Amino acid sequence: MKSLSGLGFLFLLFLLPSAAYSYTGRIIFTGYIYQSPCMHSISSTSVTFSCQKGTHKTSKKIELSSDSSYLPMGLGTSKLKWVNREHSLGVLVIAYR
């Protein structure tokens, strides 16, 4: 039984040096970011999104009572996730396409 536990300890010592190495890499982005994000202003009852696509600008008001909605010009979606039952604290998730 002692030889088995000693063998396990030896195996652990063998693995320790390999766990100490770190690996690095490189991510290369090719392309352009050509669309600016929508700006938003939040009031106690609604969120107003102001979006620009090229030279075209538009705004859309979304009531906080709705769960999800599309951003102007189909640029993405917004979804409100309430943190508490009273709906006084929430997280607004904006996803761009």
pLDDT tens digit sequence for 46-86: 889 898 888 888 998 888 877 788 888 888 888 888 899 98
Q: Which of 6-10, 20-24, 28-32, 43-47 has the highest mean pLDDT?
A: 43-47
Q: pTM higher than 0.85 for the full model?
A: no
Between 62 and 20, whose confidence is greater? 62
Instruction: Write out the two tokens for 61.
Output: 């008001």
Query: CA–CA separation, 76 vs 69, rounded Å?
Result: 9
* Contacts by 46-50, CB closer than 8 A, 24 or more apart: 47/78, 47/92, 49/78
| Half-sphere exposure at residue 2, Cβ-oriented, CA atoms within 13 angstroms | 0
Q: Give the chain's end-to-end CA distance (angstroms, integer).
A: 61
Instruction: Pick the range with the lowest mean pLDDT from 18-22, 32-36, 37-41.
Output: 18-22
Model pLDDT, residue 17:
55
